[in-house]
Amino acid sequence: NAGVTQTPKFQVLKTGQSMTLQCAQDMNHEYMSWYRQDPGMGLRLIHYSVGAGITDQGEVPNGYNVSRSTTEDFPLRLLSAAPSQTSVYFCASTSPQGRETQYFGPGTRLLVL
């Protein structure tokens, strides 16, 4: 099993550009989530999904969009990138319902100029 995979590993964007961060898991987990990690701030939840077709907002959802069309994939879209979105983004999956061990991807480092 590959576990949780994320692409790309690094990305540089200009302000106003849009992009999609990809996340996939092969463990058949119902629950997937996106976090951002900023220095001194720990991990903050952006969006999460408890199954295909079901998504919900976390602590810091503004400026991000998600969808869950399959169990395996949970892409995160930046609609119009801003310098404040410069961060490291982690995708995680678990089962059941987010209460047990979370498996993290390797992260995507995003720089918005």
Partner 1 sequence: SQQGEEDPQALSIQEGENATMNCSYKTSINNLQWYRQNSGRGLVHLILIRSNEREKHSGRLRVTLDTSKKSSSLLITASRAADTASYFCATDPNSGYSTLTFGKGTMLLVSP
Interface positions with partner 1 (CB under 8 A): 4, 33, 35, 40-45, 48, 50, 56, 58-59, 90, 92, 97-107
Q: Select 44 or 77, whichever has its Cβ closest to partner 1.
A: 44
- Tokens found for residue 5: 């995979």
Upper half-sphere CA count for residue 103 (Cβ side, 13 Å): 19
- Tokens found for residue 73: 């994939």
Least Å distance between CB 7 and partner 1? 14
Least Å distance between CB 105 and partner 1? 6
Least Å distance between CB 36 and partner 1? 11
Phi, psi (degrees; rounded to nearest 5) at 83 = -55, -30
- How big is the chain by its Cα radius of gyration, in Å? 13
Q: Select 49 or 85, whichever has its Cβ closest to partner 1.
A: 49
